[in-house]
Amino acid sequence: MRITMIGSGYVGLVSGACFSDFGHDVVCVDKDSDKIDALRAGRMPIYEPGLAQLVAANVAAGRLTFTTNLTAAVADADAIFIAVGTPSRRGDGHADLTYVFAAAHEIALAVTGPTVVVTKSTVPVGTGDEVELILRQARPDIDIAVVSNPEFLREGAAIADFKRPDRIVIGTEQAHAREVMREVYRPLYLNESPILFTGRRTSELIKYAANAFLATKITFINEIADLCEAVGADVQDVARGIGLDNRIGGKFLHAGPGYGGSCFPKDTLALLKTAQDHDSPVHIVEAVVRVNDNRKRAMGRRILHSLGDDLHGKTVALLGLTFKPNTDDMRDAPSLAIVQSLEDAGVGVRAYDPEGMAPAKALMPDVVYCRDAYEAAAGADAVAIVTEWDIFRALDLRRLAAVMIAPVMIDLRNIYRPEDVKRAGFAYSSIGR
């Protein structure tokens, strides 16, 4: 099939590369000419394990191309995916649909025959209706079906998620559009990936409901972690104990400094705005957003407390800056709130992250960025593990302690056993233990 992917960011690039790997002919479109030039040269705009190799293989095979020319890219496409950004709108938290609607207008001017337009971007309920209205008003002469097909990709594991998905959600009431989408995803039939056909508005809501529920699990276990510390229990054992119940499951029950990233923060806010607009409040999600914001700031206070009463001249080493490992994504990362708390208190910050330091420098210019964990810890009064990169899981703890002014560790991801860290001479604290 001929597929056009409008938007070559995280979702568009991963989806386009995977579709081409299935054997489809894919054109990825982006207005950013520098990004397109970089992609043609084999340079990825994001860090995602395996993506560069996947793109290179399919470019070499002639199945994947990149362009800034939307008109030529959509003219004869069987399916046109809209995968542009939908950031939170300032003021009310609603998803900013400017790029989605702009793409719809451009598609309407460029299509030459019947096609299927698919919203891959995360959009509020009813967006597909508005996209359809834009297309019908501009091109009443052409049969254009509008489909919702939300993505469920985890950063750091996006390729595996795309190729072996838990489910494929497709929202449409049109039989022809269903058949086109079946053909698009036909290669996944061999994996027996379930396809759930729903109404378009239902499909749009599924995405938000899924992310809000996962954010709720994270926030729930973080509050239980605080209770564990108060009563002398171990949150990791609590998480195992409840996670073994197959009605609950063990995923997203890892206590830490709060959720961040490109999805959970903006999607929970967008869901709240949708609920408010329809006078149907979602009080649980309201609490999740509030508790998560407070938690990030509380992690900064926890680190400051470990430094004692006199903060003058103190320095903290942060290991990990991105919101999760195996990505360079700094969006709403807990490290942002933590660094702000430390700097507001006059504490210096040194940091190391395997992939996130380039984007972090623009957001946190006063941090001292280092070559590795040991350089970051040199002369520090405490070290805090903020992101659970594999490279931090087997540090030489005695070497780390030797270069620090005071061997203090705050493990916000519980990646170490307390007895091991204490044996190396550290004063150690973790989450919920």
The CA radius of gyration of the chain, in Å to the nearest whole number, is 23
What kind and span of H or E run contains 192? none
| Residues 380, 316: Cα–Cα separation, whole Å | 5
CB half-sphere exposure, 288, CA atoms < 13 A: 25
Exactly one of 18, 28, 228, 263 is catalytic; which is it?
A: 263
| φ and ψ of 216, to 5 deg | -65, -40
391 close to 373: Cβ distance less than 8 angstroms: yes
Nearest to 10 by CA among 27, 24, 25, 30: 30
Q: Edge-to-edge, what's the strand order for the sheet holding 408-411?
A: 368-369, 348-352, 315-319, 382-385, 408-411, 427-430
The answer to whether residue 263 is catalytic is yes
Contacts of residue 255, Cβ cutoff 8 Å, sequence gap at least 6: 221, 222, 224, 225, 235, 236, 239, 414, 431, 432
CA angle 196, 197, 201 (to 5 degrees): 115
Instruction: Please state, in angstroms and as integers, the Cα–Cα distance from residue 280 to each residue in 88, 271, 277, 286, following that order.
Output: 20, 11, 8, 12
Q: Which residues are catalytic?
A: 263
